[in-house]
Chain A
Amino acid sequence: MCYPIDSRGGPARKASTDPSGGERGVQAEDFHDSIRPGLIAMLPRLKRFADVLVGARDEGKGLLGRALQAMLAEQHRYQRGTALDVWAFGEIYRYWLQELRDHAEPMEQAKIDEARFGELFYPEVDGYFDSPIVTFLGHLPAQQRLTLLLVYGEGLDHEVAAHVLDVPPDTIAARLIRISGSLADRLSERPPAPAAAIVETLYPEGLRDSP
């Protein structure tokens, strides 16, 4: 589902002849030309990421706008060779975290409205609305929603998703195990598996309790 993003497609600019500009100034110009078309090309994916993160279209649009401004203002932080989409997802997430921490009641801010979350799926476009899935996603914490989006929506592998969310890959795996198992149980109306059934593991025991 990933669209090819050319993050190096911008027109080359001549190096500054002003000695006071320094090497860093030239790099910033180059980066500016590099990331802007790339960011524009993947706006729908970035908007989806922001929407799923905050749980509503308008708030997602606002967050994305602020995060894009920050990205362009601090474009020197983008390193060539890094996938632009991965970098941009990470920047949006970090921007959201920063805003959340600055808020007087961060826990309240992280809550989402179920009805507005349902609007993210554009049911008016062609009637698609998978109610059990929407409800399930709406009740997950933001980090877990993003984990699902990055792995099953964006097709990123666990390591890259972990990089975006700034957690160890094992945490991503642990989240997916718990969420996938729970969703599969819910959809098939099967009671959760007893702990005794777990006889084999790929992950350290300690991670099970801290996704």
Chain B
Amino acid sequence: MTELSDELLVAYVDGQLARKQLRAVERVLDQDDVLAARVDALKHAHSRLEAAFEAILAGEELDVSAASAPEQEGLVIEWRVVKMAMAAIGIVAAIALAVAGYGWPLSLPGSQTDGASSSTLAVSGWQEEVTRAQALLSRESLEVGLESQANPDFIAFQLSQILGADLKLPNLDPQGFRFMRAQVLRFADEPLTQILYLGAQGAPLALYAKKGKGSEALVEQQYGAIDTVTWSEDGVSYLLAGEVDEPLLMRIATKVKLEPVTPLRTAPKPQTPVNSGLD
């Protein structure tokens, strides 16, 4: 057995070694199971530390977001409600078509509303209008007529291509929400992706994404029974919406935000009915 100290192994695990040292250590590790096990133990310890610190940060973000949520004033709410009601008509109809069985992919006409409404949509927060459309989704919407979408990597690839930006397709199994399907909608003539999850009970949880810039801070808002969290990162605006408790939604949003974005893949697309539809 070759003997290497924890000093060297910790430096190796932390990525602090020069390339030459790195290669030398890797050669030793390839041939020494005991040292390889020690490296695994160090990596395991570090990953648990990272998870612990991440848990603290998630809680802090929850606190800060709750404390900094903008206060709603009556006049603003009234205008927003009217605006949302008008603007949401087109996209609500589109989602109704989607959940009624058209499924993936849903490519909507370029304009679902008249000219005046379209200009309103373009300048208003798309998250708010989409939140109203979310109310049309139910468990039944997802439980019937599903097309198989068993390959998350492939789905992420397709959505990223359509969106024109790297997109997150988070695994929310640990949070109790199973990925059901994803589809592409269209808002103000721009692609809008919708990723749907289902928990053990209750309505679906949806993660919407659209190309655009905005605040990176997690902002929570409630619209009726639907709670939402919005944020932007890397040129993509996200909206997480669902009928779940606010702390849980914020926790999930934090998890999604903290995880790295899936890089746009260049793998060839398999020929499937889904893929053909996208083309």
Residues of chain A whose beta carbon lies under 8 Å from any beta carbon of chain B: 1, 3-4, 41, 43-45, 47-48, 51-52, 120-122, 124-126, 128, 130, 132-134, 137, 148-149, 151-153, 157-158, 173, 176-177, 180-181, 183-185, 187-188, 190, 193, 197-203
Contact = CB atoms under 8 A, between A and B. Distances in A.
Taking chain A's interface residues, is the majority helix, strand, or loop, or is none over half, making it mixed? helix
Contacts of A41: 216-217
B69 interface: no
B60 A47 contact: yes
Interface in B142-160: none
A47 B251 CA distance: 17
Contacts of A152: 46, 49-50, 53
Q: Which of A4, A122, A190, A197 has the largest count of B CB atoms less than 10 A from its CB?
A: A122
Interface in B58-95: 58-64
A202 B8 contact: yes
Given A1-B50, A44-B60, 16 more contacts: A1-B57, A4-B216, A43-B60, A44-B61, A121-B52, A122-B56, A124-B247, A126-B251, A133-B49, A151-B14, A152-B53, A177-B6, A180-B10, A193-B5, A199-B4, A201-B7
Contact of A176 (B4, B10, B50, B57): B10
Contacts of B50: 1, 152-153
Given A47-B63, A48-B53, A180-B6, A158 B16 contact: yes
B41 A190 contact: yes
B57 A180 contact: no
Contacts of B7: 173, 177, 198, 200-203
A37 to B, nearest CB: 11
Given A1-B258, A176-B14, A201-B7, A184 B57 contact: no
A125 B52 contact: no
A47 B52 contact: no
Contacts of B8: 200-202
Contacts, number: 137
A148 B49 contact: yes
Contacts of A201: 5, 7-8
Contacts of A47: 60, 63-64
A184 B45 contact: yes
Interface in B250-267: 251, 258
Contact of B5 (A125, A153, A197): A197
B53 A128 contact: no
B97 interface: no
A115 to B, nearest CB: 16
A122 B6 contact: no
Given A47-B63, A122-B62, A187-B41, A198 B52 contact: no
B111 to A, nearest CB: 35
Nearest to A195: B5
Contacts of A45: 57, 60
Which of A187, A200, A201 counts the most chain B CB atoms within 10 A?
A: A200
